[in-house]
Amino acid sequence: MKYTSSVFEWANVEYGVGAGKKSKEILKGISGSLNGGEVCAILGPSGSGKTSLLNVLANRIRHKGASQRVSGSVLLDGKKLVGGELRKRIAYVMQIDLLFATSTPREAIMFSATLRLPRSTPMSEKRELVEKMIVDMGLQSCANTFCGDDMIRGISGGEKKRTAIGIELVMKPQLIFLDEPTSGLDSFSAKSVCLKLMELGRTQGCNILCTIHQPASEVFHTFQKALIVQKGHCLYYGSIKGLSAGLAKHGLGCPSEYNMADHIITLTQTLSAERLDELRHAFLGHVQVHETPTLGVKIVPSEVELTSPSSSMKVQPSAEATAAEMPKRSSPDPKGRERAAGFWRQLYALTIREALYVWRNKPGLIASILAPLILNAVFACIFEGVGDITRPGYNLQAHFGASAQVLIGGMFGAAQPLLLRFPLDRGIFLREYATSTYSAAPYFLSKTLVELPQAFLNAVLVWCTFYFIADLQGSWILHVCIFWLAGICAGSTALLVGCLASNPEVAQQCAPPLFVLQLLFAGVFVRVTQIPPALRWIQWIASLKYAINLNVLNEFGERTQKDKDWPMENRIAADAFIDQVIDVDPSDWWWYLLMLFLLFLVFRVLSIFALAWRASTFF
């Protein structure tokens, strides 16, 4: 296996948010570089800008005008970190381990390898890479255990962290970003992770940059370099030994048996602003740029030696230097420019993963079967024999109410889980979407392909429970199909709301008005012709209305009347009910059916665009 060494450099990086009086500068001219598999830790007190710096360098925070200002030069092998192909060469491990709960570490790493490695890479080689990564990450004992989440038991926190790292490293990146990789780990696990990072940098040549909070002494000293951030400024950038010697030289040496990382963080919070400025200039004050003793505004476009008290390091060109002015670097691995998995491969892998989630999540699977059975068994008991037109005391309105109630219950049952689907899964989607693992369309379609047969099975269960006990008259299979269409249309509406909502709470708050309008325009409580004309347009997007219209024609229409040999008085009453009360035209059945299909497709397509827009605006 070949690994190509790369050079990562950033110069005069600045980041600010807000405008006017609310303007705030978070990062203030930070520069540095990594070369040939170096591992660097970013330290600083809370609120100093560590994670912001990591996200800016990873191109996850970008310039968006006055409200979000990013400037400076960030280059990987002399190229800016923009575009999908270049971003595929970098890996980003988030602080929170967002893993698919019912996937195993082996499956999760294989999923990443399948979709992110070049399509020309044989599957056998991808499997070898996955097995090697499992060994490298020390995951042999848990390789076939679910990753788990709050509801599903799975692997430990340290194993999750190593799995998250393995998912990123299997695609052989040239640059790795990690946000708090030791968060939530004990000292031994934290040291093991950091030693593994050092080994990966040494053996694979990839540069590694990570934020770290309160590291143990043995963890801190595993890093080759440290970047100390203090209120958006770079206080120090260089080797750990250089930091220790530099502090000692200025009378701020770390006391014996103290943690160097804790000591420097304490200094950033206890020293005066003037003393910290002096210390920063002392660390960075030997830059020879136009005979200026401090970091000047302009730096020559060649690498400049910057000497700390006991070590030397390099400061790269400022943001004014263009990519063309930068020295030429080693060319990246040619495979990095090859296309990864295409649409159909993405769709297949995502569909398999989604189907496995449904099957392996036993509590959720059992609940999805029992809930409609129990609920509609109760409905059936309430409406027992309501459709028997020969029964004494038969009431046509109650007959209609029974079938309408099933559709209304199905609408809420189908919409509720889908309303929260994407807000709850957003973290995993954003992590994978940001690394170009797949695009929004196959991700969305995979969920739809798994949802459709689930919804049809649900429709079959509902009508097997309700139809015969209530003694309905229409075609059973047509009731099933209409219920299925109504459910997937309601689910499409809920999906669009869920994709647009910023979090699950917002999505839930949007649900009541959304589905109350469906009820009002369904013709159950009031005829649409009695609604003010200015509001009648809402009926065109009320899928429940078209489903109820089809249901009425199936249950009370001419075909059912003939097949069940209805008495004439019942036929007259049913025709009058269809025409005058529900206001349904039997000849328009095809229009009702077409509108259900159109609403399903339109809302699904809009949901895909909403999901992609939400992902693009997140970073």
Measure Cα distances from 257 to 192, 218, 521 in Å: 22, 12, 74
The pLDDT-based confidence of 331 (bands split at 50, 70, 90) is: very low
For the chain, list the domains and their CATH numbers: 7-89+179-337 (3.40.50.300), 395-618 (no CATH)
**Confidence (pTM):** 0.77
Average pLDDT over residues 438-467: 91
| pLDDT at residue 285, rounded to an integer | 60
The reported pLDDT for the residue numbered 619 is: 55
Q: What is the per-residue DSSP string for 24-69? A: EEEEEEEEEEEESS-EEEEE--TTSSHHHHHHHHTTSS---STTEE
**Poorest-pLDDT segment among 15-29, 377-391, 515-529:** 515-529
Look up residue 262 and give its amino acid: D
Percent of the chain's residues with pLDDT above 90: 22
Q: Starting at the edge strand that comes first in sequence, how are the strands of the sheet with 24-35 ordered? A: 24-35, 7-17, 68-76, 79-80
CB contact burial 550-563 (16+ within 10 A = b; e otherwise): bbbbbbbbeebbee
Whether the per-residue pLDDT at 609 is higher than 80: the answer is yes
Report pLDDT for 218.
81
- At 328, the pLDDT band (50, 70, 90 cuts) reads very low
Average pLDDT score over residue span 272-278: 87
pLDDT of residue 369: 87
Look at 323 and 557; give whichever has higher pLDDT.
557
The per-residue pLDDT of the chain, averaged, comes to 81
Q: Which residue has the higher pLDDT, 421 or 15?
A: 15
| Residue 2 neighbours by CB distance under 10 Å | 9
What pLDDT shows up at residue 333?
43
Tokens (6 digits) for 236: 């120090």
Neighbours of 333 (CB within 10 A): 17
Residue 27: per-residue pLDDT = 92
pLDDT bracket for residue 4 (50, 70, 90):
low
Q: What is the mean pLDDT of residues 280-284?
A: 82
pLDDT band, very low/low/confident/very high, at 477 (cuts 50, 70, 90): very high
Cβ neighbours for 58, distance < 8 A, ≥ 6 positions apart? 81, 90, 92, 177
Whether residue 335 is predicted with pLDDT greater than 70 in this model: the reply is: no
**Higher-confidence position of 337 and 436:** 436
pLDDT at 329 over 90: no
Residue 127 pLDDT > 90: yes
SS3 418: helix
CB atoms near residue 256 (< 10 Å): 5
Q: Please give the structure tokens belonging to residue 243.
A: 């930091």
